[in-house]
Amino acid sequence: MESGESTGTLRRGHRGDGRFGAYAATVQPKGVRGSRRRVLGAAAAIAGRPSLWGTAITQGWRIARPGWWRRPPFLPVPDPEYLRFRLQTAYGDDGGFEPHDLVTYLRWCRSFPRSR
């Protein structure tokens, strides 16, 4: 596969208009595969830093998909397309973040004064 190419998969899912379609194509950028290991590593890095738990919850809530309670998986998780975009703009086509990057980001977020 050339750099920047994607792998496509079909899955049953949301059509984007509030109804479920038969199948929706999902595109996974090269290098994002194996992200489960990265996510678990990031979760472990945060779990070991209780001072960042509140910041992690706040930031997770801020990037949760609008109307998350109306669509599966019924969890306040970010939209996959948004997350792919953010990872690609930050790390390039491989989307290769490391757990310490998330810890650094959360410390940066925590350093800002709270909004009123």
Mean pLDDT per segment of 10 residues, for the chain of length 116 residues? 44 47 42 66 92 93 90 87 86 80 92 75
- Domain-embedded: residue 89: yes
- The predicted model scores a pTM of 0.61
Domain of 72, in residue numbers = 31-111
Predicted local distance difference test score (pLDDT) of residue 83:
83
- Domain-embedded: residue 9: no
Number of domains in the chain: 1
Predicted local distance difference test score (pLDDT) of residue 53:
94
Give the helix ranges, DSSP H, for the chain: 35-47, 53-62, 80-91, 99-111
CA distance 39 to 102: 10
